[in-house]
Amino acid sequence: MEAGKVRVSLEVNGKAYTAEVEPRLLLVHLLRDQLGLTGTHIGCDTSQCGACTVLLDGQAVKSCTVLAVQADGGRVTTVEGLASPEGLHPVQIGFWEKHGLQCGFCTPGVIMTAVGLLQDNPRPTEEEIRTALEGVLCRCTGYQNIVRAVQYAASQMAEADERREVAAAETE
Amino acid sequence: MAQVFGAAVKRREDPRLITGRGRYTEDVQLPGMLYAAILRSPHAHARLVQVDTAAAAAAPGVVAVFTGRDLAGKMGTIPTAWLPPDSDIKATAHPALAVDKVRYVGDGVAMVVAENRYAARDALDLIRVEYEVLPAVTEQEAALQPGAPLVHDDAPGNVAFRWRAGNATDEVFTQAEVVVRQRFRQQRLIPNPMEPRAAVADYNASTGELTLWLTSQNPHIHRLLLAGILGLPEHKLRVVAVDVGGGFGAKIACYPDEALVGFAAMQLGRPVKWSEDRREHFLATTHGRDMVLDVELAGRRDGTITAIRVRNTANLGAYLSTAAPGVPTILFGLIVPGPYQIPYAAVEVTGVFTHTTPTDAYRGAGRPEATYLLERMVDLFARTIGQDPVAVRRKNLIPADAFPYHTAMGLQYDSGNYQQALDKALAMAGYADFREEQARLRQQGRYLGVGVTTYVEICGLGPSQVAGAVGFQGGLWESATVRVHPTGKVTVFTGTSPHGQGEETTFAQIVAAKFGIPVEDIEIVHGDTHRIAMGWGTYGSRTTPVGGSALAVAADRVVEKARAIAAHMLEAAAEDIEFAEGQFTVKGAPGRKASFQEVALQAYLAWNLPAGMEPALEGSAFYDPVNFVYPFGTHVCIVEVLPDTGEVKLLRYIAVDDPGPVINPMIAEGQVHGGVVQGIGQALWEGAQYDDQGQLVTGTFMDYALPKAHFFPNLETAFTETPSPHNPLGVKGIGETGTIAATPTVVNAVLDALAPFGVREIDMPLTPERVWRAIQSGRDSA
């Protein structure tokens, strides 16, 4: 191993990776520059814009404020890993349906933030959605269609849950 | 087939962007790629005594270090590209790296190129620069004072230029029944698209070709300027800007940094990437606005406005950025009379150098500033003569039957029904009822206010003859090529360069409507100078009116050729061929038909074409518009001000805009949302501030307040659609209406709420502190 570097092992979007990194390397740079996952963006230096948001062990975090070594042994989901073989994640669908993006640069981070929100609070009010977007900045949309996108995703996910419950009840 | 022009078609750019598969400049990774970092001046004004790069050059991973002296004779300086006529402009070019002096905090001093981005940044700290710090001046009126520090020796008094236009004389004002005077400060704003600027350069020494991925709103303009700066033949420079993360004017300019990246790649023979961080964006990417406006409005007691004149002292920063001189002059001055029948108007502009970051276009560029002063003056005039501000607007609006309308500033407005938009907005807002509620709530000690803006904007910039007449150093026409493939699928090449506005969808809708084919069969290519003949880019709400019209003309040319081929196939005269929903039919013989796809195939097979006809099916247009277009509308805002804290609560916001025929209402509404929120940002929160030494003290998102989601209620939007006679689609543009209308609407609402306190004016942004202080001083003087 190169002097001054440390080994990190982590799972990203279901795949195991091992990399030798400088201890100061930011997780976002590991994702972008070394793993080639350029869907996660960098929009500021002060952890305000949220463009770099990913899920680390299920929690939405700003990957510009996490060292790669802190993610050692962790499980990371980026926007590239959100869709399943069956199709797009409901939050992605919501953004497409409701025109929740324009230039698209903040979008991966906003989507991951919304995924985190809906994990914690599956049926948020509009006010709760707007408050949950405190940690992201979007300069294009004026946020209104982002709110609509999250509402759409929440209702789709709730409907899917109900269908699953009904199906489970029927099989019992 | 359902109507596609006017339908809320889901965006075709979204699947790649919501899955992280966009291709922004910073995403480009090339084998052997190096990373650049730029050392920026920490001083606003200083002489460069010595720049010692030895330690940096010797640092691990560092490949090269360049200073201003290293560029001498190898690389040109950065020019401005707008020279207003009849002005005495002093256009000192910006050296890509400072040679003798630095002139603003953020001015480039040296560039390091290293094996990775961390090594490059580390090495910046090893460059030793000896500065002889000089006094700086950051505010434009201070810069005009005798004895103020000079920014450029060849610009005495820091005057970059003086420019005037209009017909209003002193006599009009001395003879007026009422004259209202007010000074407004259009604070400096920082555009802050969420994607910082970036560049990747790849030079192939054996072909002599440089490929430059750029965060650009106008790749062909960048190619033109950078070819000159880098000394490259224009056809050997390829500029690529496919996915660009917002611009708002900040990605129009040609900057030193991107040129340096190209230079380094050519010098070193390896690809080089550079991305600014957000702090650099604040310091080294163009700012917007920053004007001091002294305004006089003359009128009669019956509410008639008879004249307006403005003295604009505009802060241009340390160098003239690419389009900067056009913003406070042409783009500002010509629209000062706005949507009203004002017989006399005049504008006098002084462009001023200061030791600050250069200013340039920011969403709306000149038109928000003009609209702001006009709409604020109308409210002050109404207050002075004791009339309702809506009544004054109604009295002065250009009537619908007066178009085309010639203004005092020499423009010809195309079409409009300003009263219809006003009526619609007032109905949505419940204006009359609100006034009753407002009076009732004031009795309870609650201060609600309503602001109304009726606006018109000038956009769709062109024709090119006018561009030349107003000093823009380029054309303002647009190109489009519509290539129909043998299977009837279509690739469109546009010279515009959308970066969030959704033209991959709306342009496909234009073509789908013309050809009667699904939007899925059409691909829009933009942002690549090697694939697209020429173009002038995306800004000034010109993309759809100019680029979309170019596309419509090119598509019509395809239809005409296809019609001739269909006539030949169906053995009929071309004038007997009808084309609808993708089918060519013979008039009166509906059974004789050929589909668009069948005709396309025959065009390529070319086995049996009409005599003399060339094979293939493709149409191109280089479309120069006959005139500008003029979107208009009315915005209404209702606020509550909390007098104890000075907080402004946005209760309702209503936007009625008329962009001509709406191609995609979902996308148009999104443009309004974003623009309104940005405009409200200026009214309430955003503002760049320098200290006396020229340090930008609002240099991060912690100090510069960008609007957030929870600041806003749901915006209520609607459209009216008045076609423009100036282009074949009748479209006018929607990208800037929000920033143009929202700022005065909100400020007028706040000042309406504060009328009981006698508050007449508060400088933007209307932060709680400023509002609270204004209330206190109003109370004191009462």
Taking each helix axis as running N to C, give the angle between helix B418-429 and helix B389-396, from 0 to 180 degrees, rounded to the nearest 10: 160
Residue B197: DSSP 8-state = P
Which residues in chain B touch residue A142, judged by CB atoms under 8 angstroms apart? Answer: 670, 673-678, 707, 712, 715, 738
Give me the pLDDT at residue B653, please: 98
- Quick one: closest CA in B to A102, which residue? B500
Mutate to test the interface with A, among B9, B189, B194 (most CBs of A within 10 A): B194
pLDDT at B603 over 80: yes
Q: How far is B274 from chain A (nearest CA, A)?
A: 13
Mutate to test the interface with A, among B18, B362, B717 (most CBs of A within 10 A): B18
Digit-coded pLDDT (tens) for B133-191: 999 999 999 999 999 999 999 999 999 999 999 999 999 999 999 999 999 999 999 99
- Using the beta-carbon criterion (under 8 Å), do B18 and A101 form an inter-chain contact? yes
- Per-residue pLDDT, averaged over B677-705, amounts to 97
Task: Find the largest Cα–Cα distance for chain A.
Answer: 61
| B586 and B570 Cβ atoms separated by less than 8 Å | yes
pLDDT at B2 over 70: no
Give me the pLDDT at residue B395, please: 98
**Local confidence band at A117 (pLDDT 50, 70, 90 cut-offs):** very high
Block residue for tokens 């406005």: B305
At B331, give phi and psi (nearest 5°): -70, -25
Fill in the amino acid letter for B625.
P
- Per-residue pLDDT, averaged over B497-510, amounts to 97
- Per-residue pLDDT, averaged over B560-586, amounts to 97
Give me the pLDDT at residue B87, please: 83
Fill in the amino acid letter for B262.
G
Q: What is the CATH number of domain A90-171?
A: 1.10.150.120
Digit-coded pLDDT (tens) for B385-409: 999 999 999 999 999 999 999 999 9
Give me the pLDDT at residue B265, please: 98
Digit-coded pLDDT (tens) for B733-754: 999 999 999 999 999 999 999 9
pLDDT at B531 over 90: yes
pLDDT at B462 over 80: no
pLDDT at B1 over 60: no
A36 in reach of chain B (CB within 8 A) = yes
Give me the pLDDT at residue A85, please: 87
Of B90 and B351, the one with more pLDDT? B351
- Using the beta-carbon criterion (under 8 Å), do B712 and A130 form an inter-chain contact? yes
Report the C-alpha gap between A107 and B17 in whole angstroms: 7
Q: How far is A172 from chain B (nearest CA, A)?
A: 37
pLDDT at A44 over 70: yes
Domain residue extents for chain A: 6-81, 90-171
Block residue for tokens 């994990």: A119
- Using the beta-carbon criterion (under 8 Å), do A103 and B277 form an inter-chain contact? no
Give me the pLDDT at residue B461, please: 76
Inter-chain Cβ pairs, chain A and chain B, closer than 8 A: 183
| Partner residue opposite A139 with nearest CB, options B194, B502, B666 | B194
Nearest to B595 by CA among B604, B608, B584: B584
Q: How far is B503 from chain A (nearest CA, A)?
A: 11
Give me the pLDDT at residue A97, please: 98
| B687 and B672 Cβ atoms separated by less than 8 Å | no
Report the C-alpha gap between B438 and B779 in whole angstroms: 20
Digit-coded pLDDT (tens) for B108-117: 999 999 999 9
Give me the pLDDT at residue B58, please: 98
pLDDT at B768 over 70: yes
Q: Which of A19-28, B89-98, B509-518, B620-629 has the lowest mean pLDDT?
A: B89-98
* B108-114 and B62-67 beta bridge pairing: antiparallel
Sign of CA dihedral B73, B76, B77, B80: positive
Digit-coded pLDDT (tens) for B422-447: 999 999 999 999 999 999 999 999 99
Digit-coded pLDDT (tens) for A48-98: 999 999 999 999 999 999 999 999 999 999 999 999 988 999 999 999 999
- Per-residue pLDDT, averaged over B599-612, amounts to 97
Give the right CATH number for A6-81 from 3.10.20.30, 2.60.40.420, 1.10.3720.10, 3.40.50.2300: 3.10.20.30
Report the C-alpha gap between B95 and B73 in whole angstroms: 12
Mean pLDDT of chain B: 96
**Tokens at B699, concatenated:** 């240099």
pLDDT at B781 over 80: no
- Quick one: closest CA in A to B503, which residue? A102
Q: Which of B305-319, B336-350, B453-467 has the lowest mean pLDDT?
A: B453-467
Give me the pLDDT at residue B782, please: 61
Q: How far is B36 from chain A (nearest CA, A)?
A: 15
Task: Find the largest Cα–Cα distance for chain B.
Answer: 90
- Per-residue pLDDT, averaged over B509-516, amounts to 98
pLDDT at A1 over 90: no
Pinpoint the alpha helices (H) of B212-298: 219-230, 256-268, 278-284
Which residues in chain A touch residue B669, judged by CB atoms under 8 angstroms apart? Answer: 99
Phi/psi region, residue B415 (left: phi>0; alpha: psi -120 to 50; beta: rest), is beta
